[in-house]
Chain A
């Protein structure tokens, strides 16, 4: 039985790594954005006491992890659910938890790859220097951030159709990144949009990551963690509703 969990995760990882629309875009976009905004344009800019290159390392790291997770769960589940593959698996003795674990393993692996590559870019070309402990904590917090976004992705995947899921994830992912202050510091946004940010999981994730860099952030660390846990639970509940609704669909 344990073998099923291991095999499901390994196979899912192979499947997604070979799916270039996933592997290239989830790793490529955050790296590209960071090169433009974190390296090319911002080499001498500072946010508070730290360089923009360092600041944006945390925020694009959060953006990258969010993308890897939302696509793996949101698009992955919507396509497999909508086009019958999930049903083949449900008819088989696969442990249901293995299915979710495998998607989580993919999210965390790709999230970790994005963060590691961003760190390398920042250190090599952005002149970012931090004590080893700070690198480690930042890396860990960013990668662990996949968990609540996995629940959000699962909720999208449980309701979206197989053809529209990709578009829906984009429509959620990109605004979440921008409005949550992950593309540029939140202070750069108009005041009204800054108010909206407080209701977004991406904002809390970004602030949490930035707090490790000791830049002035809004709110408190426990507050952001609570918000992320809350978002995770609410969307896990929504996903549960979607999955149970699915169980008795119309077939001929």
Chain B
């Protein structure tokens, strides 16, 4: 049984169709990358799976439950794109607070280690670097020992080193048996991390498969070329 599932989901904002019938399933222990350009509908799909937004039609479920249910909330973690995180709290205080929301959280020391924050526990959030800030948000997502993580463009705006560091921690979560839905517009990121990639374009799934399958489908060697081939092909069909 899939851990998280979208079935025939559409989402309309007034005249704008953000999602036009999406089917998506994430298996236990799988890292699925939702790949697509800005505005393709990646964040909308994540928001629906987190119960932050209701689909116009179709079904969304997490562990067989409604995404907004407490049952689902207790079994997932989320790293969302956020404009400002409270800066006058220490790293440890942020983690202790979020841990208190869960029934069986990880010990704080384990969360700190799993997010690469050792030595920064008493630093105020506002005094951290960009990469460190993202790792704190990652820590808040994993502190409840969830079965699935939602990572919405977790490495956007980070330098190479910080990006690689976050990748390492994401991989470790998957190695321990967790599922991940990762959205990204970095092809390299999907290639490096994902078991499976779903390419989303203008609210539809344009292609799906392992990174290798997608490259083979489009007779390209790099995922970047594959993505361009998929988008161009769709544009021709639409015209």
Contacts and interface: CB of A to CB of B under 8 A. Distances in A.
Given A14-B93, A84-B83, A87-B52, 7 more contacts: A6-B100, A11-B97, A18-B89, A83-B84, A87-B82, A88-B85, A92-B98
14 contacts: A3-B100, A11-B97, A79-B84, A85-B84, A87-B80, A88-B82, A88-B140, A92-B144, A95-B101, A247-B53, A250-B13, A252-B18, A252-B38, A252-B43
Contacts of A80: 86
A84 B80 contact: yes
Interface in B42-94: 43-44, 47, 50-54, 70, 73-74, 78, 80-86, 88-89, 93
Given A251-B43, A252-B38, A92 B101 contact: yes
Interface hub of B38, B100, B124 (most chain A Cβ within 10 A): B100
A16 B98 CA distance: 18
Contact of B70 (A6, A82, A93): A93
A19 interface: yes
A91 B73 contact: yes
Interface in B12-62: 13-14, 16, 18, 38-39, 41, 43-44, 47, 50-54
Enumerate the 4 nearest inter-chain pairs by beta-carbon distance, A residue then B residue, closest first.
A83-B83, A18-B88, A84-B82, A7-B100
Given A87-B82, A91-B52, A93-B70, A15 B88 contact: yes
A93 B98 CA distance: 9
Contacts of B86: 15, 80, 85
Contacts of B191: none
A93 B89 contact: no
B208 interface: no
A14 B102 CA distance: 21
Q: Which of B84, B137, B144 has the most CB of A within 10 A?
A: B84
A248 interface: yes
Nearest to A250: B13
A17 to B, nearest CB: 8
Contacts of A162: 83-84
A93 B74 contact: yes
Contacts of A83: 82-84
Nearest to B82: A84
A110 to B, nearest CB: 15
Contacts of A79: 84
B104 to A, nearest CB: 12
Contacts of B89: 11, 14-15, 18
Contacts of A6: 100
A15 B93 CA distance: 10
B85 A85 contact: yes
A117 B228 CA distance: 66
A56 B140 CA distance: 47
